[in-house]
Amino acid sequence: MRRELRVDPTTCSGHGLCAELLPELITLDEWGYPIIAPGPVPAALDKHVRRAVTDCPVLALKLLPAEGRRSPASEETHSRPRISR
């Protein structure tokens, strides 16, 4: 299964540990918050990604399935009731 690394920006405190553990996928912005490379996690980095997720001091990193995710626009479209006329 293909997975993507995501950060919860409201939970993240900008410790920067994730960028130290996973410099292949994570850089830090000028305030120390992570910028994650887009796209699925390469299989060769899976072990390192899992370590970064579990070692995050505030658990702001998540490893989510890449397949079947909806964009916010598609969720909005599907949440509205359809009216027949």
Both tokens assigned to 24: 């292949």
DSSP percent split of the chain into helix, strand, coil, nearest 5: 30, 20, 50
Task: Return d(Cα 21, Cα 15) in angstroms, integer.
Answer: 12
Q: Look at residue 61 in the predicted model and tell me its pLDDT.
A: 96
The pLDDT tens digits for 28-81 are: 999 999 999 999 999 999 999 999 999 999 999 999 998 654 444 434 434 444
In the prediction, which pLDDT does 57 show?
A: 95
pTM of the predicted model as reported, rounded to 2 decimal places: 0.72
- CA–CA distance, 76 with 78 (Å, rounded to integer): 6
In the DSSP assignment, the letter for residue 13 is -
Give dist(CA 6, CA 16) in Å, integer.
15
Its CATH architecture, for the domain 3-67, is 2-Layer Sandwich (3.30)
